[in-house]
Structure 1
Amino acid sequence: MTTPRIALTALALLAPLPAAADANRDEQIKIQAGEAFFASDCRRCHATDADRASYGPLLDGVVGRMAGKYPDYPYSDALANAGFVWSEGALRAWMEDNTGLLPGTKMRHVGITDPVVQDFILAYLKSLATAK
């Protein structure tokens, strides 16, 4: 392989790095924004750290968890018997209209309807499971 060809190959391999760095930076910004929105909209009732007391169930690891199944939390019958997993779609529906999604829940209606705010909160919640 000639020197110009090696240089071109190296450039081709390195070219995606700035895009990847930008994507990582963008994701970190989303997570930080999500943490701020979580603090203002969710933290009054929910914790993300088992060492912090909260009225609602702990949300660390909520993405992918069965709804109404966090150990030792006294869920409403509606949520305890919901039978679905907290996927991104389920969490979006819950944030937007939890009482419409699951009548009989004891959580007050929050109404986070802005999909961008939902994106940020989801990015933050997903980051909690990978941060450990």
Structure 2
Amino acid sequence: MKKALFIAAAAAFVMGGVMTAEASELGKCKACHNLDSADKKVGPGLKGIAGAKQGSAEGFKYGSYLAAQNAAGAVWDDAALEAWICDSKGVAKAAHGKSKMPNQKVCGDAAKAAVAELKAL
């Protein structure tokens, strides 16, 4: 079941990027995350994520990096969000951890715009 959900989410992600150019920097996020509420999809909802404690959404088994961040009390500030949406795997690996989220490669000014959108949700 999990494998089927992962494959469906990956297909939606790929097709979404191929079929339409999103006006929103959060377009890639929609494949796995709910943007208009905290309700979960494959990943946790993103409404209210800015400023929230990392790895704190109920009902998810986070990778070792976010589990450690949660235990340390780290929050999703602008810098953490920008780094995460640019290279989640790299951020986790640099801290000797792992991430379950695929890299979105939304970096630089696009990452800053995405964070501004997350804060406005």
Structure 1: tracts of 5 or more residues without a match: 1-33
Q: Which residue of structure 2 lines up, in the alignment, with residue 54 of structure 1? A: 41
TM-score by length of 2: 0.67
CA contact (8 A) 1:46 1:56 kept: yes
| Among 89, 101, 110, the residue aligned to 1:117 | 110
Give the TM-score, by structure 1 length. Answer: 0.62
Once the two structures are superposed, the pairs formed by residues 91-130 of structure 1 within 5 Å of their partners are: 91-103=81-93, 104-113=98-107, 115-128=108-121
Partners of 1:77 and 1:119 in 2: how far apart?
A: 26
Structure 2 CA distance, aligned partners of 1:108 and 1:68?
15
Question: What secondary structure, in the 3-state scheme, does the structure 2 residue paired with 1:36 have?
Answer: coil
Seen in structure 2, the aligned counterparts of structure 1 residues 51 and 112 have a Cα distance that, compared at 3 Å, is closer
The sequence identity of aligned pairs, in percent, is: 29
Q: Name the counterpart of 2:55.
A: 68
Cα distance in 2 for residues equivalent to 1:116 and 1:96: 11
Segments ≥4 residues shifted beyond 6 Å:
none
What are the Cα deviations for residues 7-44 of structure 1, in whole angstroms up to 9, with x where unaligned? xxxxxxxxxxxxxxxxxxxxxxxxxxx972212x2111
Residue 90 (str. 1) matches residue 80 (str. 2): yes
- Structure with the higher helix share, 1 or 2: 1
Cα gap change, 1:94/1:87 in structure 2, threshold over 3 Å: closer, same or farther? same
Matched residue SS, 1:81: helix
8 A Cα contact 1:96 1:111, kept in partner = yes
Paired residues of 1:46 and 1:54 also in contact (CA < 8 A)? yes
Q: Deviations over 1:92-117 (max 9, x none)?
A: 1111211111131111122112x221
Higher relative contact order (CA 8 A, sep 6+): 1
- The total of aligned residue pairs comes to 93
The alpha carbon displacement at 1:49 in A equals: 2.9
Greater Rg over alpha carbons, structure? 1
